[in-house]
């Protein structure tokens, strides 16, 4: 069973993604901010992470920097899913090591497709 970590502070987004990925036979972990995600990643190693950028405590950019420096996680696939839709934000996310970047609002179907592509 593939493992996915969803990191977002918007409850409706978390609920819809969690429901969809559980329905698609993923083991799902949830974090409401970057710090909670980093705490989860100390003991759980997901196959893929869906990561928001604008969150309290530790934002998505800083979270990804920590992930890419960790030998146990540096090859984990990361999809940024963010309302930050400027070209400079997308470029920064990819430069920091995100494998893909999608903007909000989003289609659940497109997110599932993107995750499937990342895990091939």
pTM of the model: 0.97
- Fold type of domain 3-118: Rossmann fold (3.40.50)
Query: At what angle are helices 11-23 and 108-118 packed, to 10 degrees?
Result: 60
- The tokens describing 17, both together, are 């993604």
Whether the Cβ atoms of residue 34 and residue 59 lie closer than 8 Å to each other: yes
pLDDT tens digit sequence for 66-81: 999 999 998 999 999 9
3-37 pLDDT per residue, tens: 999 999 999 999 999 999 999 999 999 999 999 99
Domain boundaries, the chain: 3-118
Residue of 6, 103, 7 whose CA lies nearest to 60: 7
What spatial distance separates the first Cα and last Cα of the chain, rounded to whole Å? 14
């Amino acid at each position: 069973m593939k493992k996915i970590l969803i990191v977002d502070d918007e409850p409706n987004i978390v609920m819809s993604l969690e429901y969809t990925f559980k329905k698609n036979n993923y083991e799902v972990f949830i974090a409401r901010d970057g710090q909670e995600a980093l705490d989860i990643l100390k003991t759980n190693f997901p196959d893929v992470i869906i990561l928001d950028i604008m969150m309290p405590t530790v934002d998505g950019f800083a979270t990804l920097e920590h992930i890419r420096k960790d030998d146990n996680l540096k090859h984990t696939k990361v999809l940024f899913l963010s309302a930050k839709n400027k070209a400079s934000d997308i470029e920064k996310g990819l430069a920091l090591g995100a494998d893909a970047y999608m903007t909000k609002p989003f289609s659940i179907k497109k997110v599932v497709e993107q995750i499937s592509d990342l895990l091939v």
